Amino acid sequence: MKILMIRPRPEAETIGLQHVMIVEPMELEVLGALRRDYDEVVIVDMILERKPLRHFLELHDPDMICVTGYITNVNTMGAYCATAKALNPRVVTVVGGVHCEVCPEDLDLPGIDYRVVRNPVTVFPLLLEHVEHGAGVPGGVLAPGQRLIEDELPALDFHYVAPDRSLVDGYRDRYFYIFHDKVALLKTSFGCPFTCNFCFCRQITRGLYRRRPLADTLAELESLPQQEIYIVDDDFLADRRFLTAFLDELESRGIRKHYMVYGRADFVADHPDLIERFRDLGLRTVIVGFESFIAEELEQYGKRSDVSANRRAMEILRRLNVECFATIILGPDWDRSHFRRLEKELKALRIHFVNLQPLTPIPGTEFKAPEGTLLLDRADHARWDLAHLSIRPSRLSIPDYYREILRLYNRIVFQPAVLFGHLRRQNWRMLWRMIKGSRRVERQYRLKIDEAAKHWKAEAGRVH
Ligand code: SF4
């Protein structure tokens, strides 16, 4: 079969990190690796392509298309499948990805034949057999109109096959994450052992946590020609014993690469020795979900960490010269003083990269917006991007809340001393790409402020 695998382009409405990071579509590379000898697979990365999807459909004339994405991509995924069907009614359309696995009802759309909701690695070859030879529909795949019934799904199996990275050779040089250029992804585990109630990641594995055998992971790592490795585990710094074994292997195999990982602040704070050793073996950046510097908020989010751990973690990373990309959740009850205090804290800790996320009750998570406060329509998928306000702020108007977000970004990311530091350390191409990307995000926020201000004025006019 000819199979076209498509990574969707973000909608204009989505305020996105895609301006400062584009990484390889690993889930499609994994599916591509599962093809049979006689299947032809092409991956089209619509984030990087300029031509419309129709061009690629006409060029490749596929028997099947597979599209994966996040909640923000739902409409685009549906539109791609509808376009493919309009061009060729016999084409088989398959969708999957993390949102489809948790909320498949959103993708029960005209034009979509199959939704993969469980164990894609096991299911995909069976689905190919079903489509081509009429074998039964595998468990873990929903047909149109079929609802997800957890008890009827097969158990999660966590099988892994190495991605076929050659399928994106044509795009490879354009993948990057902030200042990490030509980055390759590596996955060593599935899920997270923690239970933060706002977190979507844990819903994908239904709260389970599994690690790949270390030898497999290391063999895959050794096979990667890339120097920059982004370990995409939800929490790579979860276990002292595992990390020690991983570092022992890096040392004994003589692997010398640069790493970017996700890790919790409390782990960094409690294991400075390990972080230092990891730094010596190539750790360059830790993405830390600090979430908040307010004790009650950390408690409310179920973070099981504390403010002092956040501060100690940042001090350790700074002392060891390991870069930190910080994630902070902005509460709906914040007023200006909260933003000012956060600015002071971030500056005191010398945090220079920050991702500010208004608290968002992502569909599928335990966290729900208080009654009557939800601003986003559930079907307005493109805006569920962790950048739009989804809960009505109680102490600031919506335009003012967006203004505070933008102001804080500018105060942290564009500090003159920070920019001079980048000028010294980074090459011009990377720096230019980052500045351009940040300015695009800024433009999106300014549009948001204008839109919210107009809406607010119209509302006020109606009241009077
Ligand atoms: S926020 Fe991080 S630590 Fe918490 S459950 Fe999600 S991945 Fe785990």
The C-alpha atoms of residue 115 and residue 97 are separated, in whole angstroms, by: 9
Distance 172 CA to ligand 1 centre (A): 29
Q: Does domain 2-152 have CATH number 3.40.50.10470?
A: no
- Ligand 1 mean position, distance from CA 192 (Å): 6
- By alpha-carbon position, which residue is closest to atom 4 of ligand 1? 196
Contact 20/438 with Cβ under 8 angstroms? yes
Mean pLDDT of the chain, nearest integer: 95
How far apart, in whole angstroms, are the C-alpha atoms of residue 71 and residue 99? 5
pLDDT in tens, 383-421: 999 999 999 999 999 999 999 999 999 999 988 888 888
Q: What is the pLDDT of residue 463?
A: 57
pLDDT digits (tens, 9 = 90+) for 290-348: 999 999 999 999 999 999 999 999 999 999 999 999 999 999 999 999 999 999 999 99
Which protein residue's CA is at the shortest distance from atom 7 of ligand 1?
Answer: 234
Distances, alpha carbon 348 to alpha carbons 297, 342, 404, 418, in Å: 20, 10, 19, 13
**For residue 291, how far is its CA from the centre of ligand 1 (angstroms)?**
10
Show the ligand 1 pocket: residues with CB < 6 angstroms.
192, 194, 196, 199, 201-202, 234-235, 264, 289
Domain boundaries, the chain: 2-152, 165-414
Q: What number does the ligand 1 atom closest to the CA of 235 have?
A: 7
Q: Which residues of 117-151 are buried (b: 16+ CB within 10 A; e: fewer)?
A: bbbbbbbbebbbebbeeeeeebebbbeeebebeee
User: Which CATH number is 165-414's, of 2.30.29.30, 3.20.20.70, 3.40.50.300, 3.40.50.720?
Assistant: 3.20.20.70
Q: Which two tokens stand for residue 63?
A: 């028997």
**Tens-digit pLDDT profile for residues 26-74:** 999 999 999 999 999 999 999 999 999 999 999 999 999 999 999 999 9
